[in-house]
Amino acid sequence: MSNLVIEKLLAKTKRTDLPAFASGDTVRVHVKIKEGEKERVQAFEGVVIKQANGPQASFTVRKISFGQGVERIFPLNSKVIDRVELLRSSKVRRAKLYYLRGLKGKAARLKDVEREHVVSKHEPQVQNPTTK
């Protein structure tokens, strides 16, 4: 009985506007930040190193900032996330890319693979004009 109630609540908060991405993909997450009364959007760009599934799904993004590794965990269904852009897809053979923590520079590169890039619905679609 209570399981049914929980599933209904989770279905209400589930987001459908985020693109499908996997571990190894480079994403740009636009996060809403509230400072006092003002609200702004800040981008966090990096490689997805982990995805957790389930009712409280989340994903971890890692980037290098001023020579220091920074990881941030984002709840997938959070209202704090404004939009997610899929920038690049890479070929990886693991679900969790924790080994990237020990690598730096060219050793931390991933091989790119062509995949269809879909952006979230909040981002305005820019159509490429045909050049003649």
Q: Which residues contact 39 (CB under 8 A, 6 or more apart)?
A: 32, 33
Question: pLDDT band at residue 18, thresholds of 50, 70 and 90?
Answer: confident
- If you average pLDDT over residues 97-105, what whole number do you get? 87
Residue 30 Cα distances to 84, 114, 119, angstroms: 6, 23, 12
Name the pTM for this structure: 0.77
pLDDT at 67: 86
Q: How far apart are CA 77 and CA 91, in angstroms?
A: 26
| Domains identified in the chain and CATH numbers | 2-109 (2.30.30.790)
| Biggest CA pair distance of the chain | 63
- The pLDDT tens digits for 20-77 are 888 999 999 999 999 999 999 999 999 999 998 887 889 999 999 998 999 999 998 8
Give the single-character DSSP code of 116. -
